[in-house]
């Protein structure tokens, strides 16, 4: 296909050609960034957490005095474990994505300052099994360690041992085993006795990507700060188990404020905003692509209409239907290419702006590539209809004056 005549014809119709290029460029820029943000949203919503998310129910206990929380704990746990279908139950300070936040900066050396907020979890006896932590190395806490540990008035654990996340172990002691190492924070030090598969930190949306998988677990004997009960059961039992558990605790703790939730619902609630954002972006993408396609159809139809005579003449002097079809397809390809090149530049610039002003990370190059490809295909798809109509212009048109 000879390109020169197409170029000179485009040169004559500079303004509409420029408009198509600009439209494709803007659509490409918005599309790349929107799809990238959708990807980030979905990655956040799907972030794995190595606890038994499907089987857990969480009940928070409030409104009773602190001494009572401690003394009632053994009895409450025994009652919870007696419910049919309960595999494990334990008291805990908070669960990942829960409402309470307890951060500390933890380091491998005593004089360092940590730039990351690590989430602290305090487990009552049996908490590892109740959450469903996956032990990768080392061991869980012993009964003595649970009995020995509590929270000092300075809000620091008096325990000597901790469990940490796999990510933290790798970050703090790259290439070494974390077991037996000392971990420092808040003028205290603890020995790592076990490494567990990554558990989400608290409030990953607020804490940023660095602290997402920075979690540390302390043993703790019954005390007031263990004000959540986690109950683990088979996923199909959990609704009934939660109902029964609330009833049982309601009888044992009259006047207490009990709030029970299925863990899967807590997780869904936490990420609801992010999911909505993804849906909104998706809708914008679809509508914008549709508008762009319609724009291309509209302008190309107009073009075809304007050039009916020329097309007729070309057909009369020997051009085939396929020639005409290819002419419009090539023309669109040239315009799309120009648009896409400009769009990739725009898209990159938008990403840089967003990185500076919002919590958006750098967009990998393949998003730009995919966006460009999508706009190319869209352009070719949109031009097909008007081009086919152009190809059907009969040569006899050339002989008519109007």
Partner 1 sequence: MFAYYLELAFRGLNRNRVLTALMVLAVALGIGACMTTLTVLHVLSGDPLPGRSGSLYYPQLDPRDMDAYTPGVEPPGQLSWIDGMYLLRAKRAKRQALMTGGMVPLQPEQASIDPYHSEARYTTADFFPMFGVPLQYGTAWGDAEDQSKARVVVISAELNNKLFGGKNSVGKTLRLQATDFRIIGVMGDWRPNPHFYDLYMGSYADYEEVYVPLSTARDLHMDHDGSTDCWGNGNTGGQDNLEKAPCTWLQFWVELDDPSSVAAYRSFLQHYSEDQRTAGRFERPVNIRLRNVREWLEFKQVVPSDARLQAWLALGFLVVCLINTVGLMLAKFMRRAAELGVRRALGASRRALFGQLLMESGVIGLVGGLLGLVLALVGLWAVRQQPSDYAKLAHMDAAMLLLTFIVSVVASTLAGVLPAWRACRVAPALQLKAQ
Q: Which of 95, 57, 107 is nearest to 235 (CA)?
A: 57
Contact residue for partner 1 among 255, 317, 318, 356 (CB under 8 A): 255
Residues in contact with partner 1, counted by CB under 8 A, come to a total of 47
- Cα R_g (the chain), whole angstroms: 32
Which residues 347-386 are close enough to bind partner 1 by CB under 8 A? 354, 357-359
Q: Which is nearer to partner 1, 291 or 321 (CB)?
A: 291
Backbone angles phi, psi at 83, to 5 degrees: -70, 135
Q: Which is nearer to partner 1, 134 or 275 (CB)?
A: 275
203's tokens: 């409030």
**Strand partners of residue 194:** 138, 163
Q: Which stretch binds partner 1 (CB under 8 A): 26-34, 46-54, 118-126, 391-399?
A: 26-34
Q: Which of 373, 237, 395 is nearest to 312 (CA)?
A: 395
| Contact assessment for residue 183 and residue 165, using Cβ atoms and an 8 Å cutoff | no
Output the CA–CA distances (angstroms, integers) from residue 382 to 3, 35, 178, 237, 299, in the order listed: 21, 21, 59, 53, 10
In whole angstroms, give the CA distance from residue 259 to residue 285: 40
Contact residue for partner 1 among 299, 324, 325, 375 (CB under 8 A): 299
Output the CA–CA distances (angstroms, integers) from residue 198 to 48, 110, 132, 166, 248, in the order listed: 8, 24, 12, 6, 33
Q: Which is nearer to partner 1, 117 or 233 (CB)?
A: 117
Q: Which stretch binds partner 1 (CB under 8 A): 89-97, 116-124, 284-292, 390-398?
A: 284-292
What is the smallest separation between the CB atom of 131 and partner 1, expressed in angstroms? 24
Residue 163 burial by CB count (10 A; 0-12/13-18/19+): exposed, middle or buried? buried
Q: Determine, following the binding rule CB under 8 A, whether residue 39 of this chain makes contact with partner 1.
A: no
Q: Which residues of 350-373 are buried (b: 16+ CB within 10 A; e: fewer)?
A: bbeebeeeeebeebeeebbeebbe
Contact residue for partner 1 among 305, 364, 369, 394 (CB under 8 A): 305
Q: Determine, following the binding rule CB under 8 A, whether residue 265 of this chain makes contact with partner 1.
A: no
Q: Determine, following the binding rule CB under 8 A, whether residue 252 of this chain makes contact with partner 1.
A: no
Which residues 174-193 are close enough to bind partner 1 by CB under 8 A? none
Contact residue for partner 1 among 16, 39, 85, 395 (CB under 8 A): 16
Can you say how many angstroms the Cα of residue 288 is from the centroid of all Cα atoms in its chain?
23
In whole angstroms, give the CA distance from residue 218 to residue 225: 12
Q: Determine, following the binding rule CB under 8 A, whether residue 272 of this chain makes contact with partner 1.
A: yes
What is the smallest separation between the CB atom of 184 and partner 1, expressed in angstroms? 16
Residue 257 CB coordination number (10 Å): 10
Q: Which is nearer to partner 1, 126 or 386 (CB)?
A: 386
Contact mark string toward partner 1, 130..169, x via CB under 8 A: -----------------------xxx--------------
Which residues 383-402 are close enough to bind partner 1 by CB under 8 A? 402
Question: Where do contacts with partner 1 occur on this chain (CB under 8 A)?
Answer: 15-16, 19-20, 22-23, 26-27, 29-30, 34, 62-63, 65, 153-155, 255-259, 269, 272-273, 276-277, 280-281, 284, 287-288, 291-292, 294-295, 298-299, 301-302, 305-306, 354, 357-359, 402
């Amino acid at each position: 296909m000879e390109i020169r005549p197409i170029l000179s014809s485009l040169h004559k119709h500079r303004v509409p050609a420029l408009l198509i290029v600009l439209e494709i460029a803007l659509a490409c820029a918005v599309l790349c960034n929107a799809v990238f943000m959708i990807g980030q949203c979905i990655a956040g919503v799907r972030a794995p957490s190595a606890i038994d998310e499907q089987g857990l129910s969480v009940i928070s206990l409030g409104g009773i005095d602190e001494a009572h929380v401690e003394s009632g704990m053994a009895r409450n746990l025994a009652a919870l474990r007696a419910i049919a279908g309960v595999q494990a139950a334990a008291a805990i300070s908070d669960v990942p994505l829960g409402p309470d936040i307890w951060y500390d900066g933890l380091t491998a050396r005593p004089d360092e300052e940590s730039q990351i907020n690590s989430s602290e979890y305090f487990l009552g006896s049996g908490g590892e099994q109740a959450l469903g932590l996956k032990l990768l190395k080392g061991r869980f806490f012993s009964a003595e360690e649970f009995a020995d540990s509590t929270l000092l008035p300075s809000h620091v654990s008096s325990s000597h041992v901790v469990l940490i996340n796999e990510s933290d172990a790798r970050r703090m002691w790259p290439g070494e085993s974390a077991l037996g190492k000392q971990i420092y924070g808040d003028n205290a030090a603890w020995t790592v006795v076990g490494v567990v598969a990554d558990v989400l930190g608290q409030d990953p949306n607020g804490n940023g990507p660095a602290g997402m998988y920075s979690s540390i677990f302390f043993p703790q004997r019954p005390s007031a700060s263990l004000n959540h009960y986690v109950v683990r059961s088979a996923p199909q039992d959990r609704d009934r188990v939660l109902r029964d558990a609330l009833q049982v605790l309601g009888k044992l703790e009259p006047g207490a404020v009990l709030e029970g939730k299925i863990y899967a619902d807590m997780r869904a609630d936490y990420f609801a905003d992010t999911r909505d954002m993804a849906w909104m972006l998706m809708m914008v993408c679809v509508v914008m692509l549709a508008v762009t396609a319609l724009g291309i159809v509209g302008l190309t139809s107009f073009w075809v209409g304007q050039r009916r005579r020329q097309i007729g003449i070309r057909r009369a002097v020997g051009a085939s239907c396929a020639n005409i079809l290819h002419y419009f397809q090539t023309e669109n390809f040239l315009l799309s290419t120009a648009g896409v090149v400009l769009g990739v530049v725009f898209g990159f610039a938008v990403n840089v702006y967003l990185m500076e002003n919002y919590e958006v990370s750098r967009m990998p190059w393949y998003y730009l590539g995919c966006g460009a490809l999508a706009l190319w295909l869209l352009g070719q798809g949109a031009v097909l209809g008007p081009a086919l109509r152009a190809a059907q212009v009969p040569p006899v048109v050339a002989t008519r004056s109007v």
